[in-house]
């Protein structure tokens, strides 16, 4: 049963600390998305990659957030330094996309719940 995995599932940290979240997309999927969900803002797209190349990170605060894909089986989202307003659930999703296709089904991971004190 192929699924997106995310680690850690829960993270509590103190303000100013570095936080790294990891995502393993479904094997063979070439598109990876990072989302953030809060009660106040709802779901927001932070960034996405296709074939490991960043295509859009306009939704991500550039000063403290960074997203990378070191290889096709791992995507990372890093926050440095973390702030209380970063507290949210961070979802990773993957899809098998073809250039120009708007109909890719995205498969979401279980999320990482982040609490910054």
Partner 1 sequence: KNQVEQSPQSLIILEGKNCTLQCNYTVSPFSNLRWYKQDTGRGPVSLTIMTFSENTKSNGRYTATLDADTKQSSLHITASQLSDSASYICVVSDRGSTLGRLYFGRGTQLTVWP
Answer for which of 2, 55, 115, 117 binds partner 1 (CB under 8 A) is 55
Question: Under the criterion CB under 8 A, does residue 25 sit at the interface with partner 1?
Answer: no
Of 12 and 15, which has the nearer Cβ to partner 1?
A: 12
**At 110, is the secondary structure helix, strand, or coil?**
coil
Residue 46 CA to residue 23 CA, distance in Å, equals 14
Answer for which of 53, 62, 63, 100 binds partner 1 (CB under 8 A) is 100
User: Of 2, 5, 18, 27, which is closest to residue 79 (Cα–Cα)?
Assistant: 18
Contacts of 1 (CB under 8 A, 6+ apart): none
Question: Under the criterion CB under 8 A, does residue 29 sit at the interface with partner 1?
Answer: no
Give residues in contact with partner 1 (CB under 8 A): 4, 31, 42-45, 48, 50, 55-56, 91, 93, 97, 99-111
């Amino acid at each position: 049963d192929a699924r997106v995995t995310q680690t850690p599932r829960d993270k509590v940290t103190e303000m100013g600390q570095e936080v790294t979240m990891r995502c393993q997309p479904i094997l063979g999927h070439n598109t990876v998305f990072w989302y953030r969900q809060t009660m106040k803002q709802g779901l927001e797209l932070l960034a996405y990659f296709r074939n490991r190349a960043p295509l859009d990170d306009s939704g991500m605060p550039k000063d403290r957030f960074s997203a990378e894909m070191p290889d096709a089986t791992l995507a990372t989202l890093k926050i440095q330094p973390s702030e209380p307003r970063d507290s949210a659930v961070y979802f990773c999703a993957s899809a098998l996309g073809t250039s120009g296709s708007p109909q890719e089904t995205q498969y979401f991971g279980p999320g990482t719940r982040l609490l910054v004190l």
